[in-house]
Amino acid sequence: MEKTIRILGIDPGLRRTGWGVIETLGNSLKFIASGTVTTDGQMDLASRLRQLHDGLTEVVHGYTPDESAVEQTFVNKDAVATLKLGQARGIALLVPSLAGLHVSEYAPNAVKKAVIGVGHGDKEQIHMMLKVLMPKVQFKGSDAADALAIAICHAHNRGANRMMKAALAG
């Protein structure tokens, strides 16, 4: 008998980290919640990272996911911005791990392919497909929508991930 699995998707960012929680049972997807953890741009970096940590910890404790997924960081031309994004991503990986969750990581193109069928697409296509896949979905802003897309990507790939992990374990 299959069990309902609750998945937390996280779209990391220093200013705004999106989060989305879905449930999956077989091929069905159910929207649970979504939102954004924001930081105060006037604060120092360590304080902002703490805000992300505290906000994501509240989400993990409030929604008790079974698994989590985080989008991989892209590299851009601004090395300082890339480093700060990497630090925010570290918090996004750390919080679910501290809660005992396995954390999967997905490239942006893999997320788009899982949701809209192709590896390149715009935010409007993702938003539209989220509404098709989960008619009761609610999200405010692209960060929360992206986090839901990451959770859906994980829902589609979790079986393959388990088989790969088992094969590597020997």
Catalytic residues: 11, 71, 143
Whether residue 9 contacts residue 19, with contact meaning beta carbons closer than 8 Å, is answered with: yes
Quick check: 73 and 150 in contact, CB under 8 A?
A: no
Q: Given the structure tokens 């490239």, which residue do they identify?
A: 107
Cβ contact 33:63 at 8 Å: yes
**What tokens does 83 get?**
């480093």
